[in-house]
Amino acid sequence: MFMKSIVAKLWLTIIVLMIVVLSLLGFGLFELGKNFYYAQVTDNLNDQGRQIAGLYAENPEIFMNNDEINRFSQILNAHTIILNEKGIIQYCNAETHLFPGTVFQESELSRIFQGEEISKIGYYEHFDTQMLAIGLPVIREKQVVEAMFIYTPVAPISATLDSFRNLIAGALLASILIASVLALFLSRSLPKPLLRMNEVALSLAKGDYDQRVTVQSRDEMGVLGTSLNYLSEQLKKNMTELSYEKEKIENILIGMSDGVITVDIEGRVVLINPQAKHLLNMSNLEKNSRIDKDENLARLSSLFSGVLAQKEQAKEEIMINEKNLTVRLSPLFDPSQLILTGVIAVLQDTTREYKLEQMRRDFVANVSHELRTPISLIQGYAEALADHVEDSPVQQDQFMKIIIEESNRLKRLVEDLLELSRLQSGKADLEKEEINLFQVSEQVKEKYDQLFIQRNIKFKAEINQDAGTVWADKFMFEQIVLNLIDNAICYAPGGTITLTSARTQKGIELCLSDTGKGISEEDLPYLFERFYRADKSRNRESGGTGLGLSIVKNLVQAHGGIISVESEAGKGTKFSLKFPFQDK
* Same domain as 312, residue 448: no
Query: For 346, left (φ over 0), alpha (ψ -120 to 50), or beta?
Result: beta
For the chain, the average pLDDT equals 77
Q: What is the pLDDT of residues 59-93, one digit of tens each?
A: 777 776 777 777 777 777 788 888 888 888 777 87
| 315 phi and psi angles, rounded to 5 deg | -145, 130
- Of 306, 329, 349, the residue at which a domain comes to its end is 349
* Same domain as 265, residue 224: no
| 302 phi and psi angles, rounded to 5 deg | -65, -35
* CATH number of 274's domain: 3.30.450.20
Q: What is the pLDDT of residues 452-496, one digit of tens each?
A: 888 898 988 888 777 678 888 888 888 888 888 888 888 888 889
48 three-state secondary structure: helix
Q: State residue 370's pLDDT score.
A: 61
Q: What is the pLDDT of residues 239-298, one digit of tens each?
A: 778 878 878 877 777 777 788 888 888 878 888 888 877 777 777 777 777 777 776 677
* Same domain as 566, residue 444: yes
**Binning pLDDT at 50, 70 and 90, where does residue 539 land?**
very low
Spatial CB neighbours of 517, under 8 Å, sequence gap ≥ 6: 491, 492, 535, 569, 570, 572
Q: What is the pLDDT of residues 34-56, one digit of tens each?
A: 777 777 777 778 878 787 877 77
Q: What is the pLDDT of residues 101-158, one digit of tens each?
A: 777 777 778 888 888 888 888 777 777 777 888 888 888 878 888 888 888 887 777 7
Q: What is the DSSP letter of 504?
A: -
Q: Is residue 223 part of a domain?
A: yes
Q: Is residue 166 part of a domain?
A: no
- The helix (H) or strand (E) run that includes residue 348 is strand 340-349
Specify the pTM. 0.39
| 445 phi and psi angles, rounded to 5 deg | -55, -45
* Same domain as 572, residue 521: yes
CB environment 281-317: b (16+ within 10 A), e (fewer): ebeebeeeeebbeeeebeebbebbeebbeeeeebeee
* Same domain as 449, residue 559: yes
* Same domain as 110, residue 15: yes
Q: State residue 1's pLDDT score.
A: 45
- Of 370, 399, 424, the residue at which a domain comes to its end is 424
* Same domain as 381, residue 345: no
Structural domain that includes position 483: 432-580
Angle at 178 between CA 172 and CA 181, to 5 degrees: 140
* Same domain as 526, residue 450: yes
Domain count, the chain: 5
Amino acid (1-letter code) at residue 568: E
Extract the runs of DSSP E, i.e. beta strands, from 259-321: 259-264, 269-272, 314-320
Q: State residue 173's pLDDT score.
A: 82
Please state the rounded mean pLDDT for residues 506-516: 88
* Same domain as 310, residue 372: no
The more confidently predicted of residues 577 and 187 is 577
Q: Is residue 341 part of a domain?
A: yes
Q: Is residue 198 part of a domain?
A: no
The more confidently predicted of residues 233 and 192 is 233
Q: What is the CA radius of gyration of the chain?
A: 54
Q: Is residue 192 part of a domain?
A: no
The more confidently predicted of residues 30 and 440 is 440
* Same domain as 494, residue 420: no
Q: Is residue 312 part of a domain?
A: yes
* Same domain as 575, residue 477: yes
- Of 424, 454, 474, the residue at which a domain comes to its end is 424
* Same domain as 215, residue 103: no
Q: Is residue 172 part of a domain?
A: no
The more confidently predicted of residues 529 and 442 is 442
Q: Is residue 271 part of a domain?
A: yes
